[in-house]
Copies of this chain bind each other. A is one copy, B any other.
Amino acid sequence: MSSGTFEVQILGCGAALPAYNRNPSAHVVRIHEQSYLVDCGEGTQFQFNKYKVKRSKIQHIFITHLHGDHVFGLPGLITSYNLINRQEELHVYGPSGIEKMIRQFLSYAAGEPRFRLEFHEINNLDGDWFFEDSHVRVRSLPLKHKITCCGYLFEEKISKRKLDVAALQKLAIPIKMWNLIESGHDIKLEDGRIFKNDELSISPYRNRRYAYCSDTVYNEQLIPYLTNIDLLYHETTYLDELREKALENGHSTAKQAAQIAAKAGVKCLLTGHYSSRYDSLDKIIEECQSVFPNTILGEEGKVVQISPEFNGLE
């Protein structure tokens, strides 16, 4: 049985001020056949074209906060969905204020969507599991930035369990019940016997987890939320020599991101949101790897695939 897709593609890895052709923040998270967009900085729709991201596959967009480099691409994307006569509904999750911000702006541009656009304002940033579909559930993560900022944790949902055929045969479970068991149900047989699902099936693979943390100061209170994370994206705006500037601007250094990754025991760290002062990113990745070797340098277009055996090595 295939484990299904679970991957992250980086569409932008720059901070607020554009520099060195780095676009502002946007990640596409592909889980099974579904795609989710996290943050939508200016130009994200152009990045869709450049990296062949199928915009029609996106039904859910998660915005961390209302700073321009994370949300200014949303009006243009919605307008384009209108122009291509999108029929499917689109759901946008983000902090309080996002709905008014976007709807007002679009109304001046005569760009109110003709498709169903729903905003879901997230007021509980404290790990609330606020979203679920057949592929994934998503919780908020409490980030500490200059304005309200919500991180996101994506946890894969397993749709079908692997049947423990030996057990099924030994217990003489009728074949007509096997579909139910595969779908995760407990069963009750006509002869009165009752079985918990995990007596008859096993997880086909563990639930993979991706956490997206941008923008935030170094914050150890995040760590309890980051258990069993395969891939942690944590912003690395500055080198550690600018630790004070980072704090002042509501950001983290590369070293601090690596410290969070190490303390949370994640499998792998992904960097990004680089200050416009850095042309080369060599020192960013060096600084992370000196604390947390299993760090991947986030670069535009890069795809990080999380296989069931994912250990973060490229």
Q: Determine whether A66 belongs to the interface, using a CB cutoff of 8 Å to chain B.
A: yes
- A23 interface residue, CB < 8 Å from B? yes
Known: A21-B49, A43-B42. A109 touches B66 (CB 8 A): yes
Could you tell me the distance between the alpha carbons of A176 and B217 in the complex, rounded to whole angstroms?
66
Given known A-B contacts A46-B18, A105-B104, A72 and B67 have beta carbons under 8 A apart: no
**Chain B residues with CB under 8 A of A69:** 76, 79
Q: What are the residues of chain B within 8 A of A34 when measuring CB–CB?
A: none
CB-nearest residue of chain B to A67: B109
Q: Whole-angstrom distance between the alpha carbons of A69 and B83 in the complex?
A: 12
Instruction: Verify A17–B83 contact, CB threshold 8 A.
Output: yes
Q: Mark A100-119, 1 if CB is under 8 A from B, else 0.
A: 11001100111100000000
Q: Is A19 an interface residue (CB 8 A)?
A: yes
| B residues less than 8 Å from A293 (CB atoms) | none
Contacting residue for A110 out of B21, B73, B147, CB 8 A:
B147
Per-residue 0/1 for A271-288: is the Cβ within 8 Å of any B Cβ (1 yes, 0 no)? 000000000000000000
A71 contacts B by Cβ under 8 Å = yes
- The verdict on A4 contacting chain B, using a C-beta distance below 8 Å, is no
The answer to whether A80 and B46 have CB atoms under 8 Å apart is no
Contact A110 B66 (CB under 8 A): yes
> Is A142 part of the contact surface with B, judged by Cβ < 8 Å?
no
- Other-chain contact of A84, B17, B50, B105, B110 (Cβ < 8 Å): B17
Contact indicator A45/B68 (Cβ below 8 Å): no
Instruction: Determine if A101 and B110 form an interchain contact, defined as CB atoms under 8 angstroms apart.
Output: no
Q: Does A243 contact B (CB under 8 A)?
A: no
Given A71-B109, A98-B108, A104-B104, 7 other A-B contacts at CB below 8 A? A18-B46, A21-B46, A69-B76, A69-B79, A72-B109, A101-B104, A105-B105
